[in-house]
Copies of this chain bind each other. A is one copy, B any other.
């Protein structure tokens, strides 16, 4: 554990500060010790799309940029004051060499992320606005409570107005 820690760079971010800006190359894979971050991008029409939330114990990066040293299309930003442990590509390789458990851990993380993304695709393609919101709340109550509503809407591919109406409907029903 002590050995492991030497590979990481601690970093604090204040709310609204960024770990990665669109167009830059993502050189870190960030483990979140405290706080919450999001990644997002802005499309040609100027609309913002929320790609990922990440809370304590999760990792966040632009995997495509991080792995291939390509320019990122995403921005990663803290939604609360946060404490991170940063891993550079080099440190990650070194960790995987020296601690086999870590390679296994990374593979498991990626597998879980892949499976979670598969579920998100199914949700995006087949569920109604109400189902999307309820299912997200069940799967990640910590996130839904903690984040502005319009960001949840963006994550689900809904407008803020639609999500507001969906919430009203749900509250009337119960």
Contacts and interface: CB of A to CB of B under 8 A. Distances in A.
B122 A49 contact: yes
Copies per assembly: 2
A1 interface: no
A114 B125 contact: no
Interface of A (DSSP majority class):
helix
A77 to B, nearest CB: 18
B49 A111 contact: no
B63 A122 contact: no
A121 interface: yes
Interface of A: 43, 47, 49, 51, 63-64, 67, 107, 110-111, 113-115, 117-118, 120-122, 124-126, 156-157
